Amino acid sequence: MFLVRAAFWLIILVLLLPTDEQQQSEVYGTAQAAVKDVSGFCGRNPGVCTTGKDAFDVFVHKAQFGAELIMGFIKEQTGGAPDDSEAPIVDGTPAADNAGAKPAGAEQASVAQASMGPWTVAPVTAEPASVEAITSQNTLNPDDLAPAWSGPRQAGI
């Protein structure tokens, strides 16, 4: 299916290519006029551009809010560390850590978190199944061993 789509778009592209100098100059002139028209749109319609910019800003804020909600949900489900991105960073560490004395063991915990990262998962080791756990490999019953239905028999055979 991919090849059919690729061939279709390739054919469309070839059909749109100009064949001689006159067509090439017409296509080039049309492209220049379109770019000039689009670049001057906000000069002719400042109200539309302002409304569009405001709508785009609202869209960006909603997208950021949605991303924060999703990240919070994922961190809650995976048991991730609380978000320290709110604290300002000073000398590579959050300012809250620089403000006062750290409790005992806090440095070791932060080193462990820094080395593992927020999305790493502790490795799980799995042991292979033992041979003693398998009691029998002959688990088919007679109905399972019967041949599949092959249709009605023809007369005279």
Q: Which residues 6+ apart lie within 8 Å of 83 measured at CB?
A: 71, 72, 75
Token pair for residue 46? Answer: 């400042």
pLDDT in tens, the chain (157 residues): 899 999 999 999 888 887 788 888 888 888 899 998 888 888 898 899 899 999 999 999 999 999 999 999 999 888 765 555 555 555 555 555 544 555 544 444 444 444 445 555 566 666 666 655 556 677 788 888 888 877 777 777 6
CA angle 39, 41, 45 (to 5 degrees): 155
Q: How many residues does the chain have?
A: 157
What pLDDT, on a 0 to 100 scale, did the predictor assign at position 154? 76
Query: Distance between CA 90 and CA 87 in Å, rounded?
Result: 9
Q: Is 55 helix (H, G, I), strand (E, B) or coil?
A: helix
Distance from chain centroid for Cα 57 = 23
Report how far Cα 94 is from the mean position of its chain's Cα atoms: 29
Give the pTM: 0.34
Strand ranges, E, within 68-140: 89-90, 93-94
